[in-house]
Amino acid sequence: MRMAGEDFVKALSDLDEAKVIELTEKRIKSKEDPFSIIEDVRKATEIIGRRFEEGRYFVSDLIMAGEILKQVMDILRPVMGKRKGVSKGKVVVGTVEGDVHDIGLSIVTALLEAEGFEVVNLGVDQPPQAFIEAIRKHNPKVVGLSGLLTEAIESMKKTVEAIKAAGLRDKVKIIVGGGRVSGEVKEYTGADEWADDAAVGVRKIKALAEVA
Amino acid sequence: MQLYKERLERLEAVMKGKEPDRVPIYAATAVWHGAYAGYTTRDVLFNYEKSREAALKVARDFDFDAWAVIAGLEGMILCAAFIEKAPEIGVPARFLVGRFHEALKDVFTRWPGIELAENAHPQFIGKEVMSVEEYGQLAENPVDFLNKVILPRMCEKLQNPGSPEYNAALARFGLEVERYSSFFNSLIGGLISLGYPAIPMAWSYAPLDFIGDFLRDVRNVVLDLYRHPDKVKQAVKALTPLFVKTAAVSGFVPPEVKRALGTDMVLCFFPLHLNEYLNPKLYKEFYWPYLKKVFEEVIKLGQTPFVLFEGKHDAHLETLLDLPKKKVVGVFEKTDPRKVKEVAGDHVILVSGPPNALLIGGTPQKVEEFMKKLLEDVKEGGLMIWPGVDGGLSRDAKPENVKAMVEAIKKYGKY
């Protein structure tokens, strides 16, 4: 069974879609514990993220990875029943008010879930109040504010300020993310971290959640 | 007209690969002029008089070398669909403006005061309107397919060809194109009288981007490259001549107009989108060969490709060396211009500038420091500045920071 795991991690990190699906089904058929498959998914996701940061993988590869991960989880979900894996904690993510883009948000959500986080994805065009309510309800370790537009920068700032005014700033770490986000944006918005790609974003969220 | 001539010479020199007297500034925006004049994004996108007034106010208050208001979202599909049978519609409909959205109810875009808040920035979201099985049909006759199959799916008002609603929508669209054209021409006229040069711009596109942006959507086209590579390749091959045609038709400038404008240059606009997404293997197989072919044909037409290399282009910089030298103007959004110089030397005409984050969150002093370093590092051999290098001036760019940028260029950008 160890061999199956290694092959699976290799196939997934090499983005070999057909082989990953074949191996997943094979492992389920041989009654393997789905949680050991999930552990391999996490291992492969880590390799994918590393390859992205090393410049060997690109966004196209992350999109393909997200697609394969989704199919694997669809196969695993029915056999996992009600058992839950060990959660690395909750993360609330959403695109800020005025911005309706979600491609970055979806990739980050897929990668975080594969890493074992419980992700509350609020969706796009979310006003500050939606983040505040989600923090109160879910008590996340990290809040991720996403946005593609340069006009999202001002919204991110308003959201961080509103979280502060609601007295919740000390309870969460905040990361801002998106193609036009930079160190400058982190400073300006008052966030704790920033990322302009999904893989770095996931690594920084892990660090913020203190599970890195 | 002294100012017009001076600015034009500066712009032309740099875009022809020479060092002008100082680094020129090519400023463009969708809504920043409105914010500067105290208008909402809804105001300037739907009220052409307000947009014109705000744009002329910026033209008077700031000293750019070229100044363009691009009031629409990505709309090359309209240009491509109409270019053969109605170029007088296809050419000015290159950017999808709010009034076209109202007339056609396209499913791709979202607008302030319609789907978004009054002061939100309009957004192109896109949608999958073509299935993977239809690549062959697209390849067989792209323009026919766009008109018969795609427009009805892309526009709610065009769902039933031949219906009263369909006819009314197309008539209304034509009217709105005419209204937009007269606004645009009157704005250009106003800018010329304030000494802002008008260099004609033609329209083209990277064939694979066309599929990603308008037909399959970005995520699907990426997956198609892994799952159905041959189908995609057949389609990009078929689309390649279409984007030579859009350039040829939109870039035709009668000799008397060239004389009146004082320039024989015609730029050809290419916004690249999937370049950042694709790994070098996919880029070299599906994207670059076809885009390169379009570049080469457009250069043969006497046009100068004006290319927005959106996102990070780092991994593909070496391919720029495949192009004829100093024939392509490249705006690099997130690629360090120093790196572009290092890899591509003076092969492409370099355009860079301060990112919007700096113009929004920075101070005049920080902007000056940034500009000084940028100019010292890369102005040698020719450089143009595109303020808010990530998409043009953002709604929230602070006027004092934009002023500081202009001053810094005058101070450190002389040759």
Segment B367-399, tens digit of pLDDT = 999 999 999 999 999 999 999 999 999 999 999
In chain A, which among 22-51 make CB contacts under 8 A with chain B? none
CATH architecture group of domain A2-80: Orthogonal Bundle (1.10)
Tokens at residue B220, please?
């699907």
Note whether residue B107 is domain-resident: yes
How big is chain A by its Cα radius of gyration, in Å? 18
The answer to whether B227 faces chain A, any CB pair under 8 Å, is yes
Question: Are the Cβ atoms of A180 and B226 closer than 8 angstroms?
Answer: no
CB contact under 8 A, A60 and B282: yes
Q: Which residues in chain A have Cβ-Cβ distances shorter than 8 Å to B277? A: 58-60, 63
- The range of the structural domain enclosing residue B115 comes to 71-196
B201 pLDDT band, cuts 50/70/90, is very high
Tell me what the mean pLDDT of segment B170-184 comes to.
98
pLDDT tens-digit readout, A116-132: 899 999 999 999 999 99
The predicted structure's pLDDT at residue A2: 55
- Note the pTM of the prediction, 2 decimals: 0.95
Q: Does residue B154 lie in a domain region? A: yes
DSSP H/E element including A14: none
Average pLDDT over residues B44-61: 98
pLDDT for residue A210: 85
In chain B, what residues touch A17 (CB-CB under 8 Å)?
226-227
Backbone angles phi, psi at B374, to 5 degrees: -60, -45
pLDDT at B157 over 60: yes
In chain B the first and final C-alpha atoms are separated, in Å, by 23
- Taking residues B264-275, report their average pLDDT: 97
Q: Tens digit of pLDDT for each residue in B91-110?
A: 999 999 999 999 999 999 99
CA distance B176 to B101: 10
Could you tell me if residue B155 is inside a domain? Answer: yes
Specify the 3-state DSSP secondary structure of B106: strand
Question: Do B222 and A60 count as a contact with CB atoms less than 8 A apart?
Answer: yes
Give domain status of residue B288, yes or no: no
Using the predicted structure, report yes or no on whether residue B348 has a pLDDT greater than 80: yes
CA distance B176 to B170: 10
Q: Would the pLDDT of A54 be above 90?
A: yes
* pLDDT tier, B246 (very low <50, low <70, confident <90, very high otherwise): very high
| B279/A179 touch (CB, cutoff 8 Å), yes or no | no
Task: Indicate whether B148 pLDDT > 50.
Answer: yes
Q: Which of A76, A70, A62, A71 is nearest to A15 (CA)?
A: A62
Q: Min CA distance, B277 vs chain A (Å)?
A: 5
- Mean pLDDT score, A173-196: 96
| CA separation for the pair B278, B76 (Å, rounded) | 21
CB-CB under 8 Å, A196 with B120: no
| Mutant choice from B118, B213, B360 vs A, greatest count of A C-beta within 10 A | B360
Closest CA to B350 of B333, B372, B368, B370: B333
Give the CATH superfamily of A90-208: Cobalamin-binding domain (3.40.50.280)
- The overall average pLDDT reported for chain B is 97
Structural domain boundaries in chain A: 2-80, 90-208
Task: Judge contact between B22 and B415, C-beta under 8 A.
Answer: yes
Residue A69 sits at the chain B interface (C-beta within 8 Å): no
CB environment B139-152: b (16+ within 10 A), e (fewer): beebbebbbebbbb
Q: What are phi and psi of A107, to 5 degrees?
A: -65, -45
Chain Cα centroid distance, residue B91: 13
Nearest to A61 among B276, B279, B360 (CB): B279
Distance of alpha carbon B406 from alpha carbon B409, whole angstroms: 5
- Asked if residues B149 and B141 have their Cβ atoms less than 8 Å apart, the reply is no
For A64, the closest of B120, B125, B223 (CB atoms) is B223
Q: Looking at the predicted structure, is the pLDDT value of residue A212 above 70? A: no
Which helix or strand (DSSP H or E) is residue A143 part of? strand A142-146
Token pair in block for residue B323: 């192009």
Which residue from B minimizes the CA distance to A57? B279
Total domains in the fold of chain B: 1
Report helix, strand or coil for B104. helix
B109 belongs to a structural domain: yes
Do strands B26-29 and B66-69 pair parallel, antiparallel, or not at all (unpaired)? parallel
What pLDDT score was predicted for residue A211? Answer: 64
Whether B201 is in a domain gets the answer no
Closest residue in A to B362 (Cα) is: A184
Q: CA-CA distance, B223 to B229, in Å (whole number)?
A: 9
